[in-house]
Structure formats: C-alpha cells, structure tokens
Amino acid sequence: MREDRAKVALRSVGHQLLLQQQDSSSLVLPIKQIEPNKFEITFQNPLKIYPDSLVNVFKQSAKLSDLPGHYLVEVLQCEDTQVAYSYEMKATVEKGIVPCRERELPLGCYHIHVQFFDTVKAKEEHSVWHFLVGGIFVVLLLIIGKQLRKRNQENGNPNFETLGGFKFYPEQNKLIKEATEISLSKKECELLAIFAANPNQIIKREELTKRVWEDNGVIVGRSLDTYISKLRQKLKEDTSIKLTNVHGVGYKLEVA
C-alpha cells in the first residue's frame, strides 16, 4: 500500500467530516503514520463524530483511492486515549463489524486511528498455509501407502519385477504372462534375478557361474548353457525381451 496515497485519502476523510458539521475553517492536522499501515487523523478544534457519516466517508474515500478494503477505524478521546467508537470494515459490508451507526459522539477532542490490512499479503499467507497443509497431507498419504505396502508384503503378497510382458516373482520361482504361469527351477530363478537386476548389460559367464554355483560350493561345466537355453524357451513368448549370447564373454537380457 502506498503511504502517500493513504495520507491524501485520510486528509480528505477529515475534511469531509468537518464539512458535514458546517466547519469550513478549522484544520485537519498533518496525517501521522504511527505504525506500518496504521495512521492517525487529528483536528485543530473539537468536533462531533457521527458514526454513520464516518463509515460512509471512509468507505467512499477508500474506494476512490484504491486503498485496501479491509481496515479498522478507532475514534479515541484525546484526554485519556480511550476508544469512544470503533468498527471494522472488510471487503464486503456483510463481513464487516459496524455497531451503533446511529449514535453520535458529543462535541470533543478526538483522534481517529486507521489500520489497513494488506489483503494481498493475507491471501498469499493463506495460500502458503494451504500449500503447507497440502504438503503435509501428501506426505502422510505416502507414509500410509508405504505402511500398507509393507503390511501386504508381510501378509504374503509377493513382490514382482516387470520384464517385458512378464511379471517375475523371484521369491516364488515363477514367471506370469497374462493368465499363464510359468514355473522356474531354483537355478533358473537365480539366473533370471541377476539378469533382471542388470537389464541390457552384459553379464560375464564367470560372474554367473560364481554367483549361482561356485558360491554354493558347486563347480559346473556346461550347466550354465543348459539353464540359459531353458530360460530362452520360457521367455520366447514375449518378443520385447531377449536373452542373447555375447560370444566369448557372457550373456545379456535385452529389454526393449
């Protein structure tokens, strides 16, 4: 909010209040800014305050000067700074609090304090609050989802990896394509698990034999080639994946 514009508008308010009681000679003293967005109107001479006129003048002046539509007006007695009259105006009259408009304040010395509220900032703070609440809600949903997945796993719902059109269940030693279930031997499953963890990468023969056979205390000759051949047969139903031989090096599971 522009302070200079607010001061001009508030001086106009003071002038209008004086004119309404036929006072065209006394002065509206310089408008003071006492806090951020809070101003004080003071007068040279005592005056009467008519709440109904006060409300209407402020409303008209705020609208003409493009000031925030949310503000608080307080009429203070000079001698003891007690609030003799106050009201709050929001963007719509229905949401404002404007009591006792018909009761006039007797002739006396008054200061008028006006506090403007930055509605744009309030909306931004409101939006930030909604964003934070929304973010917390999303995090809670993620945590709940994770807990549910963990519970499902603990209740026996197995994990699977997607290989082309297959669902590979390493813990169940099986492949599933649509409604067809293909059983795998333990060695076939161990080999396929290695390939599934390294799609489109060459796995050396030595690594495969070491991890599947030698680590278990078994030395093999041509067993690897036999199991690779069996896996090829079981995977051939899906053309998007292919178990290929890299001559002299090893094998690779090609996944489109």
74-112: pLDDT as tens digits = 999 999 999 999 888 886 555 555 666 667 889 999 999
Length of the chain, in residues: 256
Is 41 a residue whose pLDDT tops 90?
yes
Per-residue confidence band for 117, with pLDDT thresholds at 50, 70 and 90: confident
Is 172 a residue whose pLDDT tops 90?
no
pLDDT at 143: 85
Lowest mean pLDDT among 40-44, 86-90, 177-181, 214-218: 214-218
Say which residue, 118 or 143, is predicted with more confidence: 143
pLDDT at 121: 54
pLDDT at 119: 59
Is 21 a residue whose pLDDT tops 50?
yes
**Are the CB atoms for 57 and 13 separated by under 8 Å?**
yes
Cα distances from 87 to residues 84, 90, 95, 191, in angstroms, run 11, 10, 12, 80
List domains and CATH numbers for the chain.
3-119 (3.30.980), 161-255 (1.10.10.10)
Overall average pLDDT of the 222-250 stretch: 88
Cα angle value 243/247/248 (rounded, 5°) = 125
183-209: pLDDT as tens digits = 888 889 999 999 999 999 999 999 988
Say which residue, 56 or 129, is predicted with more confidence: 56
Is 113 a residue whose pLDDT tops 90?
yes
> How does the average pLDDT of the chain come out, rounded?
83
pLDDT at 178: 72
pLDDT at 120: 55
Is 154 a residue whose pLDDT tops 50?
no
Lowest mean pLDDT among 50-54, 89-93, 143-147, 223-227: 89-93
Nearest to 40 by CA among 11, 1, 82, 79: 11
What is d(CA 149, CA 136) in angstroms, rounded to the nearest whole number?
Answer: 20
Cα distances from 154 to residues 93, 151, 159, 161, 185, in angstroms, run 60, 5, 11, 18, 24
Structure tokens at 237: 């139903």
Which residue type does 245 have? N
Structure tokens at 71: 């503000």
Nearest to 173 by CA among 231, 218, 220, 236: 231
Is 132 a residue whose pLDDT tops 90?
no
Say which residue, 42 or 59, is predicted with more confidence: 42
